[in-house]
A and B are shown apart, each in its own frame.
Chain A
Amino acid sequence: MFVRTPMQMIFLSRLISKASLVVLLAGIVAACASAPKVTSTRIIDDVQEFTVDGVQVLLRESRATPVISAVLFIKGGSSQIDTSLPISTEYFAMSIAAGSGTQRTSKANYRNALLRMGTYITGEDGRDFSLLSLRCVRENFDSSWQYFSDVITQPAFDQVEFDNMKHNVLVELGAARNDADRYSRIVADSLFFAGHPYGRHLTTEDVERITLDQIRTHYHSIMKKSRLLLTVVGNISRDELTKKLVASPVTNLSEGSFVEQTLSAPPKSRTPGATLIQFSRKLPTNYAIAYYSIPSKGDSDYYAYVRLRNFFGGFVYNHIRVQHNLAYAPNVDDAEFRTSNGIISFQTGYVDSAVKIIDEDVAFFQDNRIRESAIKEGVGRWTTSNYVKAETAQSQAFLLGQSKLLTGDWRNAFVNYDKLASVTSDQLQRAAQKYLRNFNWVVVGDTTGISQQLLQSR
């Protein structure tokens, strides 16, 4: 089947034609009565925020779950890496640190201990921040925390892990070119963020020149308390967590002087663009993807855009798949970072027809005012997805920390229904005019006959 959120489906059934806006909105009003009104505070409202010896902490104490999840956010991410270093440095540093054992525990003993306890310690890089994550059951928290804090402060950086990862990444980079889906996304990302701090991407040359010494040095250079945010969700009290932190080497890390870099909009977001790539082998379908600029979490336009994306995504899905059978899974999504972007994607043999429909849908929202009662009454649909996102301790720990770093407040981790419901018709229309433009399309497949001019028209 297919995956779709309710946010993408509003208006689906009511849309008869674009001229029938009054009928459409009347339908919405009538049909939304059962949507429950829930305020955001019901999702999570019991997070404690404090500092332990210079380490910033968010804690949600939950006795209902036997699992404890901790996520250590390291601010900066790959977008703020020194330009003299390979862009892959942070990617390698986080992965190798989490998989190598520590100065106190050999790799074999470390792996066996984690496996025996069912504990996971993982590392990953990101654009705005990188992560070290711990997931364990309550009864094994003491031992697991010991390993986790050792990984944070004194990882082993195993040569074999490094060599294998390097080899794998190089092969993977080569293989990506044969996968049209992955390739289209890599190209779209590279083109849209060219000239922006997000614009550096993994390349063969980049990976080939990286060394174990580089990643070790880089890792220790970013493990500074001014960069760290620890979020913990599970059955642990503030007192216990504080004692753990005080006793751990984490609070002995130096303070550092991290300052977040200011990010401006990607230069490519100011003009529309289209790149057509004839794929190396014959494909049964084309992969089309468009990037465009959207407001980030915390921006004043954020909720207006979120509401708009919900309507717009529903239109695109309904017109391309349900009404015209042009594509299996047309989708409108957001990539939420400090500099966020919208993504329209679909796979079809009829790119021009699908793009024309999208253009018409854009024009509809730019030219029409959506009635405010319709805007208000649909917001209860976010309830389910908010709660699904909050189902595990791990997902909560991530979302709370991510929101704190992107917006300055963990309370923005989940969609706020009140803010969503207070979006006005004017705000929605302005958001359409401001953001649904300058689409940068990439099409991979058999691009013969596809109109570049059409793709660049909006």
Chain B
Amino acid sequence: MKRACLFCLLIVVFAAGQNVRAQLPPWTRFTLPSGLEVLVVENHLTPIVTVEIAVRNGSFTEPPEYNGLSHLYEHMFFTANERDTTEDEFLSHVDDLGILFNGETQEENVQYYFTLPKQNLSAGLEFMATAITSPLFKEEELHKQREIVLGEFDRSEALPLFQFGRKVNAALWGDNISRKEKLGQRSTIKTATRQKMLTIQHKYYVPNNSLLIIAGDVKTEDIKRLVPIYFSGWQRGDDPFAKDPPPVIPELTQTTIVADTVEQPTATVMVRWHGPSIGIDDKGTYAADVFSYIIGQAEHEFTKKLQESGLALGVNFWYYTQRYVGPIQADIVTTPEKLEQVMRIFWEQVAKFDDPNYFTDDELETSKHALRTQILYKSEQLSIFAQDLAFWWASTGLDYYEHYLDNLSKITREDIRNYVHRYIQGKHYVLGVAMSKEASKTVPLDRLQPSQKP
């Protein structure tokens, strides 16, 4: 599943940290002997509770023959298990407990979340424990879910820019595309077997590769008592990444242009670089976020010259935090007649990224003030906040997340310059352009690149 909007992710990036921890709902972490990490977030505003399990699974664990199966597995979670032996029974149980539920598969995590009345917490924990530990993967239900996922594929493919995005992604990740394409491939989904589901389960769905979040109108002491009752039977497994770590994604060795035809009045541009990775260049990830936020301000020249000028309909420059190479992404929408001018200005701006005067101290400080309040808004909606916590746990670990704003505040101009030099300026990239067949005849692609090529 996809987050509501990619830009929101950027905002989420800033929605945590030591500086503002005091204003967040209090949380407590503990770990069961099995290795299951548990995070309890207390908030007594409304008498509901969200129970969530996140697993370090997703496309980053998928070789080509498994690409898309983390997502299919996520669908199978909501079908039969040892207690509810059919999908109907499962859904009936959901009804009985008053559960709102959903699941989400991303590149580096898979999440399952239930929100339910607090009176049903114990039953909800038992339900979650049963579902996560004892899926049956019935053949008939697997067949059904394969068709449903293919239906999801159909729906995505009907979107005008879906295929364009996949082509850009393919150029950016090359042989490792399966590790970054969370929806996967039709052929893999069509041929998915029960055995493959079991393989995923045994390898990744182990407590020492999972996080349990309980957020809402609960008492931490009660949770400490209840969780072992329902989850202690979940047996520790091997570390899934000890013997089989995800492959190292090599740097781009060439710049690639992806041109696609989409019959619409706009021209859509995607520029992509390989950005920093968690665990390898954490400082680079902080610098990336600070920098993206600064130039995204409405009064910064990057946004003013491209968007306020009326040249672009929309511009978004952001870094997607990932452990295994987070992409730096510029998305621009304009009209074909303005495309060349937009790209000339875009590359002029990129050339200025390391200019000491490119942003002011005031712009930096303004960002810090604004970020502090973002967290308050985010944490108001606990059922969603739990999903953000799970995202960060999977890709960065909770320590990174807890100290996030504190580390952002330490980022200097020099750090930002290093980030720009290391990942953007003079580096290879993928440039994707989609516009109508007619328009593409009038816009030479080589004029959409910077005058000085890497």
Q: Is A387 an interface residue when CB atoms closer than 8 A count as contact?
A: yes
Closest to A31 in B: B96
Question: Which A283-316 residues have a C-beta within 8 angstroms of B?
Answer: 283-285, 287
Docked complex Cα distance between A224 and B186 (Å): 57
Does A399 count as interface, using CB distance less than 8 angstroms? Answer: no
- In chain B, what residue has the closest Cβ to A11? B95
Residue on B nearest A10 in the bound complex, by CB: B95
Say whether B297 faces chain A, with CB atoms less than 8 Å apart: yes
CB closest chain-A residue, reference B89: A13
8 Å CB contact of B380 from A111, A321, A347, A392: A392
Q: When the two chains form their complex, are residues A1 and B102 in contact, meaning their CB atoms are under 8 A apart?
A: yes
Whether A3 is near chain B, meaning CB under 8 Å from some CB there, is: yes
- Taking a contact as CB atoms under 8 Å apart, the answer to whether A6 and B370 are in contact is no
Interface residue? A380 (CB, 8 A)? yes
A34 touching B95, Cβ below 8 Å: no
**Residue of A at shortest CB range from B75?**
A1
Please report the C-alpha to C-alpha distance between residue A378 and residue B94 in the assembled complex, in whole angstroms. 12
Q: How far is the CB of B216 from the nearest CB of chain A, in Å?
A: 9
**Interface segment, A175-183, A366-374, A402-410, A434-442?**
A175-183
- Rounded to whole Å, the gap between the CB of B300 and the closest CB of chain A is 10
Is B29 interfacial (CB 8 A cutoff)? Answer: no
Cβ–Cβ contact A381 & B95, under 8 A:
yes
Q: How far is the CA of A111 from the CA of B335 in the complex (A)?
A: 27
Q: Is residue B115 within 8 Å, beta carbon to beta carbon, of the partner chain?
A: yes
Residues of A18-74 contacting chain B, CB below 8 A: 27, 31-36, 38, 42, 64-67
Q: Are B95 and A281 in contact (CB under 8 A)?
A: no
Contact segment of A166-174, A207-215, A420-428: A166-174
Choose, from A112-120, A237-245, A265-273, the stretch at the interface. A112-120
B78 cross-chain contacts in A, Cβ below 8 A: 1
Is there an interface contact between B383 and A285, defined as CB atoms closer than 8 Å?
no
**Interface set, chain A 313-333, CB cutoff 8 A to B:** 318, 321-322, 325, 327-329
Contacts of B265 in A (CB 8 A): 171, 174-175
How far, in whole Å, are A285 and B48 apart by their CA atoms in the complex?
Answer: 38
Are B87 and A137 in contact, CB atoms less than 8 angstroms apart?
A: no
- Is A217 an interface residue when CB atoms closer than 8 A count as contact? no
A329:B155 contact, CB within 8 angstroms: yes
Q: Give the residue name and chain of the A residue nearest to B145 (CB).
A: A325
On whether the beta carbons of A325 and B100 are closer than 8 Å, the reply is: no
Interface size class of A (residues with CB under 8 A): 35 or more
Q: Does A390 contact B (CB under 8 A)?
A: yes
Q: Least Cβ distance of A419 to chain B in Å? A: 18
The residue from B45, B74, B144, B383 contacting A64, defined by CB atoms under 8 A apart: B45
Q: Contact: A325 with B144, CB < 8 Å?
A: yes
CA distance A108 to B307 in the complex (A): 14
A384 near B116 (CB under 8 angstroms)?
Answer: yes
Q: Contact at B266–A285, with CB atoms within 8 Å?
A: no
Measured CB to CB, the closest approach of chain A to B312, in angstroms, equals 10
> How many Å lie between the Cα of A34 and that of B92 in the bound state?
12
Q: A343 CA to B104 CA in the complex, in Å?
A: 26
B229 within 8 A of A: no
Residues of A within 8 A of B157 (CB): 283-284
B355 CB within 8 Å of chain A: no
**Complexed CA–CA distance, A374 and B152 (Å):** 33
The reply to whether B100 and A5 form a contact with Cβ atoms under 8 Å apart is yes
Option from A118, A178, A284, A322 in Cβ contact (under 8 Å) with B373: A118
B32 close to A (CB within 8 Å): no
Q: Is B6 an interface residue (CB 8 A)?
A: no
Query: Any chain B CB within 8 A of the CB of A164?
Result: yes
Is A9 in the interface zone, CB < 8 Å from B? yes
Judged by a CB distance under 8 angstroms, whether A391 is at the interface is yes
Q: State in angstroms the CA–CA spacing of A10 and B96 once bound together.
A: 9
A168 adjacent to B313 (CB under 8 Å): yes
For this complex, 5 residue pairs linking A to B, each with C-beta atoms less than 8 Å apart, are A13-B91, A34-B96, A36-B120, A328-B155, A392-B380
Closest 9 interchain pairs by CB? A118-B373, A13-B92, A328-B151, A1-B103, A13-B88, A174-B265, A284-B154, A285-B154, A387-B46
Binding site for A on B (CB under 8 A): 1, 23, 44-48, 74-75, 78, 86-105, 115-117, 119-120, 123, 144, 147-148, 151-155, 157-160, 262-266, 297-299, 307-308, 310, 313-314, 335, 366, 369-374, 376-377, 380-383
